Amino acid sequence: MKTCRFSFLVELVPKSFTYAEAGVDRELRAKSKEALHALKQTYKHSQYGKVIQLPYGNIFPVDDKYFDLVIEGVGTKVLIAQLANKYETIGIDAIALAANDVIRSGAKPLAVADNIHAHVSDPKLVAEWIKSIVKGANEAGCIVPSGEIGDVAEIIKGLSEGIGFDMVIACIGELNRNDIIFGNNIKPGDVVIGLRSSGLHSNGITLARKILFKQWGGKHDPYDIPEGFDRELVYEVLEPMKIYVKPFLNAAGKYEIKGAVHITGDAYLKFDKLMQFSKGIGFEFGNFRPQPIFDLIQKVASEIGAPITDEEMLKTFNLGWGFAVIVNKTDKDAVVDGFEKDKMQAEQIGKVTDSGRAFASYRGKEILLK
C-alpha cells in the first residue's frame, strides 16, 4: 500500500526539464571533448615557438606576436531566423560568438571567415546573410577576407519555414606576449564584473525553443506577444548577441584583466576553467538581472509540465550578463566607469573566494555550481 501511494505521489510531481532532455547533454559533450587532447600531437608543427594553453583555448606564436584562432557556429538560432523569415541579424550572432571568444585571451580580432552550408544558395537569402555578417564584422572591427557557401541539399534539408542553412564563423586575433590573459593569477578578494547581455544571445536556444514555441512542442505561436513584452516573441528570441570587443579592449589597455569569460554555453559553469588555472580559488555570484525572456521560459516550462530548476537556468543561460572580467578590487570602480563611458552597462556580479567552489545566490537560494 505504501509503495503504491509513493508511486502515485511521484507521478503528481512534475519532472524537471533539463538541457540534456532538450537535446544538449553537457556531460556527454564534456566526455567527448576528451578526444581533443589528441590535437596536442600537432603542436610540434608550430614553427615559431610553443603553443600556449589558456583557460578557454590556445594561442600560438608567429615571429614576435601571438595569434588566437577560434571557430564558432550559430547553432539552432538559425531555426528562429527561419521561423521569423528575418535574416538581417543572424550574422551578428555569428561574429559575436567568435569575436567575443577571441578577446578572452587579450587578443584583438583581425579577421573573420564565414562558412555557410545551405539546402540551396538562394541569391536573396545569401545577400541578407552576408549583410548581417558585414554588420557584425564592422562592430567587431574585423575584415572578412574570405568565406564559403556550400549547397549541400543532402545534408541540410529544406524546411517548411524556409531554406535550411547552418552558419559558422572563424575569427583570428593578434596580441603581444605582455597582453596575454593567462588566468593563473586570480586571487581571493578579486571581483567579477559582468557586462550586460541583450537577452538570450545564442545559447540555450534548443531548450528555449522547446519550451516557448509550438513548432517544437512548446506553448506559444511565434508572433504571440506575452504579457510584459512589447514585441512578438520570435523577435525577442532573435535579438542578436552583444559584441564586447571594443569596450573590452579599451578596458584591457588600461587595467589588469586577470580573467575574461564569455558567458555562453554552460553559462556560469564556465568559471570552472579559471578555477583550474588559479588553484584554490572559488567564486560567489550574487547579482543577476535576468531579462523578462528568462522568467518567461521558467514560467511557461512550469505551465506545460516541464519545470526548469533555478540550478539548470544558471548552468544554461546568461541571466543578464553576457561577458565577465575579473579584476583587482581596487580597480573595480574605474573599470565599471570605463565600460559605462563606452556605453556598456557593467556591474559587479560576484567575487573570488578561497572556497575552491562556485556558488550562486539566486532567488533567495544558495546554489552550488561546481
Phi, psi of 106 (to 5 degrees): 100, 0
**Domains and their CATH numbers in the chain:** 46-180 (3.30.1330.10), 183-370 (3.90.650.10)
Calculate the CA dihedral of residues 326, 330, 331, 334 and round it to 10 degrees.
Answer: 140
- Answering whether pTM is above 0.75, one says yes
Distance (Å, rounded) from C-alpha 334 to C-alpha 300?
Answer: 40
DSSP annotation string for 44-106: GG-TTSPPEEETTEEEEEETTEEEEEEEEE-TTHHHHHHHHT--TTHHHHHHHHHHHHHGGGT
Q: Count Cβ atoms below 10 Å from residue 38 Cβ, excluding itself.
A: 8
pLDDT value, residue 305: 93
Cell numbers linked to 6: 509513493
Q: Count Cβ atoms below 10 Å from residue 245 Cβ, excluding itself.
A: 22
pLDDT value, residue 31: 86
Burial class (CB within 10 angstroms; exposed 0-12, middle 13-18, buried 19+) of 134? middle
Strand partners of residue 327: 191
Tens-digit pLDDT profile for the chain (370 aa)? 334 432 323 333 456 788 878 778 888 888 888 898 898 999 999 999 999 999 999 999 999 999 999 999 999 999 999 999 999 999 999 999 999 999 999 999 999 999 999 999 999 999 999 999 999 999 999 999 999 999 999 998 876 667 899 999 999 999 999 999 999 999 999 999 999 999 999 999 999 999 999 999 999 999 999 999 999 999 999 999 999 999 999 999 999 999 999 999 899 999 999 999 999 999 999 999 999 999 999 999 999 999 999 999 999 999 999 999 999 999 999 999 999 999 999 999 999 999 999 999 999 999 999 8
Q: Where are the alpha helices (DSSP H) in the chain?
A: 2-12, 19-22, 26-32, 77-84, 90-102, 123-140, 205-212, 233-238, 245-252, 272-277, 292-303, 310-316, 332-341
pLDDT value, residue 265: 86
pLDDT value, residue 360: 97
Coil, strand or helix at 161:
coil
Contact, 181 vs 104, CB < 8 A?
yes
95: alpha, beta or left, given left = phi > 0 and alpha = psi -120 to 50?
Answer: alpha
Coil, strand or helix at 147:
strand
The strand pair at 108-118 and 165-175 is best described as antiparallel
